[in-house]
Structure 1
Amino acid sequence: MKVTIYEVGPRDGLQNEDVTLPVEVKRELIGRLAEAGLRTIEATSFVHPKWVPQLADAEELLDGLPRADGARYPVLVPNERGLDRALERGVTDIAIFGSATESFAQRNLNRTVDSQFDMFAPVVERALANGLRVRAYVSMCFADPWEGPVAPEQVVSVGRRLLDLGCYELSLGDTIGVGTPGHVEALLDAFQADGIGPERLAVHFHDTYGQALANTLTALRKGVTVVDASAGGIGGCPYARSAAGNLATEDLVWMLDGLGVETGVNLRSLVATSLWLAGKLGRPSPSRVVQALAKEM
């Protein structure tokens, strides 16, 4: 079995950090991640700098980005203006970011669940017409801090509409990190019942309650082979107090190595990168594997 790790640290990780790193440090981070063997690295976001000032240097970053053979560098694109910026920079892969709940759609997109598709449809149509691959995220797949638990059927409805726009893959986000293996099974079963198999799905877990690895293993056993993760576990969730951030790529690789699952990632090289990054961010990595292996390096 082979698992594809969709590395989100340079985008989803850094956008939630208090420290804004210089563009040359971001370029070095992405280069180091590629050298460690990661082949899908979400580089940045074309969200307006007012909302995500940590990624305001997106154009400058992409202009000087080192590109490894066989690697892909997706960018998050929220709307048509973001797509214009991506096309100007020759981007080949983009992602859009939808919501399964009304509360988060209003707060994050200033849209309703239904009207978010009016914004996404022209983005996806134009992107596909220009030969780009489009991935979709759907957030709040298990619970919403304002609405509580989210029914699987609600997530499937939103996910189906995103895939029907022409997205090749749907990443299911546990945005506030409250999901458990039982929730993951129920959600994946609901997608399967709607005719959407695990080959169209990815998972994106936060570790707020320490369930990210257990949830990932559950998804793998249900047939999912694409997992989002963030080097060093960087990033956090602004919607849950004491959220522990993204699933750490190192913790994921350690588990997959132990299962005999192929990832193509050199764990020690990745740990060295996260230790270097922790120094730039001025705080230790929350990854248990980084902390353990740091003692040996």
Structure 2
Amino acid sequence: MNKIFFTLIVMLGFYQAQAQKDFQGMAIYESKTKAPKFNGMPGNRDITPEMQKDMEEHMKKMLEKTFILNFDQSASIYKEQEKLDMGGSQNGGFRMADPMMGGGGTFYKNVKTKSYTVDKEFMGKEFLVVDSLPKLKWKLEKETKKIGSYICYKATMVKMVMEPDFKNPRPGNDNGEKDEVKKTGDINKVAKGINFTESFDIPKEIIVVAWYTPDIPINQGPENYWGLPGLILEINDGRTIVLCSKIVLNAKDKVTIKAPTNGKVTSQKAYDEIVVKKMKELREMHPNRGRANAGSATLMVR
């Protein structure tokens, strides 16, 4: 009898270990960023209220994105879901250039090794940023709320913002001229020519609010957020909200979770220095103009 009981305990432990090993899930996140008001933007004397409203509406749509997080017990990949290019629409014609907005391709993070890898493209060059996961100093709060069918708990932290991170811009001032507006009134040409990096002030620090669920006990979340006792279902940094809209656990079809490999390997610090240096060069080249005359280096491109 004791032998049978012992055998059952061993088998149960084996099946539990196997279940943990095979555990995998997918979370879909909807990201929305508040479109800034361009008070004092280049050529603002020539842009009508209707044109400015149209531009802000386009900006709002461009800043609405969908991301998919595939995860297992130790690693995850986070990637934007591609959408159809709006460039051909009559009222569209411009999009946000992710390489200048701190964007990337596949964001892989491994909470077991506390490392991450993300492939990025900046000014036509491919980079593979490999570095240690940031140590996030979360403060666990008592508040709870429900997201979907999951009970979530609140956590907060103060995050320092680096210059290359343009996800939380504050409207600034620029007095550049926009002759294109006078000549054509074409909103697309106006948007194409504006270098929005010179119209924004970047805050030094922001407060991040996270909501996580212990019902999915994994140390994962969107992008480089991690470190909570449960899957993070919502992130709010004051301007951008990333909210989970769907979760699928242990689907029949498994996803390969591995780090990207394309691009020149560099650290996060080295990559940030490259971005800052190039942006300063662009500003020095065009000190009196509201545009960066360098193809993919402009924030708004056709």
TM-score greater than 0.5 by the shorter chain: no
TM-score normalised by length of structure 1: 0.24
Who wins on radius of gyration, i.e. which is larger?
A: 2
TM-score normalised by length of structure 2: 0.24
The answer to which structure has the higher strand fraction is 2
Relative contact order (alpha carbons < 8 A, sep ≥ 6): 1 or 2 greater? 2
